[in-house]
Each structure stands twice: as C-alpha cells, then as structure tokens.
Structure 1
C-alpha cells in the first residue's frame, strides 16, 4: 500500500520466501529552478533522501532569477534521489533533476531507463519548464505536468497551462502540493498509470 509499507520482511531485511521483490521502476521528477522537485522527493521518499544541495552564491542567484523564490538559499547541483514502495509489485526510484540550464548536460544519464516523468510547474514562471517539456517530448518518455500549488493557490486554470505549454490532450495536466505526501503520491500514480498504459499500447501494437 502507499505510504512506504511494502513486502513483509525478515529481520535481516530480505523479503519472505515465496514472494518476489517489487519491480524497480525509475521515474524522473523535473522542472525549472525552485519549483519544488527536492521538496517532492523529500515528502514521499521512504528512505533518507540523497540530495546534492549547495549554497546559493550571489552570482548563482542572479543567473537563476530567484525573484519569485527569495527564500531559497540552496540549489540542486546534480540530483535528488529517493524511493517509495507503491505496493507488493512496484517500487519507484525517484531521480530529481537539477533545474538550471547549466546542469543540462547531466540529464541524459539521469533520465536513461526512466519509465516516466513528473514535470513540476510554477505558473508564475511558466517559461522555466519549457525545456523539461521539450526534452521529454523529444525523448518519447511519457510525462505528466503537475502544477505546484504554492500557498494553495492556482493562479492560472489548467486549460490555460496546457495551452501555454502546447502539450497534447493525452498528456495529463494536474495540480498537487509538493509538500504533501499523499498529494505527491497521487501525482506519481498518474505518471505511473500513463507510462504503463503507453507501454501496453506499444507492446500490443
């Protein structure tokens, strides 16, 4: 069941006999600078999150345009990593990408083997998520657009977000709260369901 409870285990941490371990599924959490990627991974992960946060310098703050997130004092310079057991069959391994363009050279390695992606959007800075949307469209990786509800407010309707990003009608556009475990879980399940549906369609075709 969601919430980090997976297979019954022995005292040594291995699954009990007769049951297979969950299928490992790689999923990417992407988006622009300061949209909530690290927060989302931290909110859902059942293990301590591996994060590569570094202190913001004055130069980096100017480059990364922190006007809408003035409280942000650190930035991801490589990746965030966490995991969550969905049920007895699936365990998600989450890779959060760095949001700045200057770290884009890492994306191919981080995304390799991913079944799907969650692209987090801050509607105050829509243009920051265009590179993520373009990347997954060109790579042919199923993705879901998730508008992070900063302060619980939706400043633009989801139809407007879809239009602004020019994503296809079969790409889900949803809202979520990156700070809330259940909200992050539900968003990841949308990604998982879409990715599995596309995989089945491809196999059947």
Structure 2
C-alpha cells in the first residue's frame, strides 16, 4: 500500500512452501508424547517446509513442576505446538501438529486434536512411564494412534511385545521403531499410521493411495 515502509511489510510464504497443484487431500496428524521424547525433532526431520516451532528456553519457573529426570541436559521446550507438512504422494498431504510434552501445557491438546485423523505416540524406553498418561488420554478420546519407539542413543532395547504389555496396548495398535532424526524413518512411521487408519475404514471411497 502507498506509504508502507519496506521494513513494515510481513513477508509472504516462500514459493517452495506452496502446496503442489496436484494435491487433492489433506489430513491432520498429531504428534504426541511425554516431555523430551523427540516430537519437535520428528516434525523438523520429516517436514518438507520450514517447520514452525514454539520452543522456549527452559527457566527456573519449571523447577519442581516439570519432570526432567532422564533429560537433564534439555535446554529448550515446546510451549504451544510444532507444525510441519509432508506430501505422502502427489495427491495426499499430511499436516503435522506436535503437542507440548509437559503436563502443565496439556490443556492445549484439546484444540490441537480438533479435526485430527490420528496420532503418532513417541516413546522413550528410558522413561516409559511418561507415556502412560499420554496413551490413556488418546484412548479416552477415541483417537486412533500408532506407538513409535524413538531410537535414543544408549536407550535400552526391549522386545515390542514387552513394551506392548508395559503400555497395556491391544494387539490391534501398531508399534514401530523410528529414529526421529531420520526423515525416511519418520516417513515410514507416518505411512504406518496411514495404513492403520485405512484398516479402520470399510468404505472403498476412503482408501488411501499408495505412496509413489
């Protein structure tokens, strides 16, 4: 507009962030898990656009409130959400919303789950107990989910069936290994969720196209 100074203008989206013209379907997926299990890392690894993050430096305000046992070296934390996008194929795009892990921010989950088709639940085998309440909240909401075992260095390795028993998961819920730092590994986890959601539907019209 006339009179605007260049410094006052808000930059628009980058051309590389525009949706492909071939996109016909978009699905909202939520990435959940306890504090420090790798949600921000996963969104950043797999997103094809520059991810939106709301990480802030941890301060003394969280002392005695946030349970940082096992992640004492963590210096930043998500306070609202992470957002990213990935194209599964030329037609299907996933919008990824990462939730904050600290229990004091769980009130934000209500808005983040609206319209979500399903969820990935990240777990850390060093701190499996932080995932119990997360799984319970998803089950209470009736949100379909896949459990993703994030491969942290030096984390103990357990058979999937032992983890399933510890989390009290039914056999129908898929469980997969994943390295949240690796884009291909994260994409495979998301594809597992898409296939699981497909099995929960019966109408052929809801079939999800195979990746190309």
TM-score, normalization by structure 2 = 0.83
Distance 1:203 1:165, change over 3 A: farther
Q: Which residue of the partner structure matches residue 41 of structure 1?
A: 43
Structure 2 CA distance, aligned partners of 1:94 and 1:64?
25
Q: The residue matched to 1:199 in structure 2 has which SS? A: coil
SS at the partner of 2:81? Answer: strand
Whole-angstrom distance in 1 between the partners of 2:49 and 2:204: 33
RMSD of the alignment, in Å?
Answer: 2.3
Gaps of 5+ in 2: 1-14, 207-212
Cross-structure match for 1:140: 142
* Higher mean displacement: 20-29 or 53-62: 53-62
Q: What's the TM-score once normalised by structure 1's chain length?
A: 0.86
Structure-1 separation of matches of 2:156 and 2:79: 29
Change (3 A) 1:177 1:143: same
For residues 196 and 57 of structure 1, do their structure 2 counterparts lie closer, same or farther at Cα, with a shift above 3 Å needed? same
Larger radius of gyration: 2
CA 180–203 in structure 1, closer or farther in 2 if over 3 Å, else same: same
User: Is residue 78 from structure 1 mapped to residue 42 from structure 2 by the alignment?
Assistant: no
- Pair 154,89 (structure 1): closer, same or farther in 2 beyond 3 Å: farther
Distance 1:73 1:168 in 2: 35
Counterpart Cα distance in 2 of 1:86 and 1:193 = 12
Q: Could you report, residue by residue, the CA deviation over 1:170-198 in whole angstroms, capped at 9, with x for unpaired residues?
A: 00111110001000000011011111221
Change (3 A) 1:101 1:160: same
Structure 1 unaligned regions, length at least 5: 1-9
Q: Distance in 2 between matches of 1:128 and 1:201?
A: 36
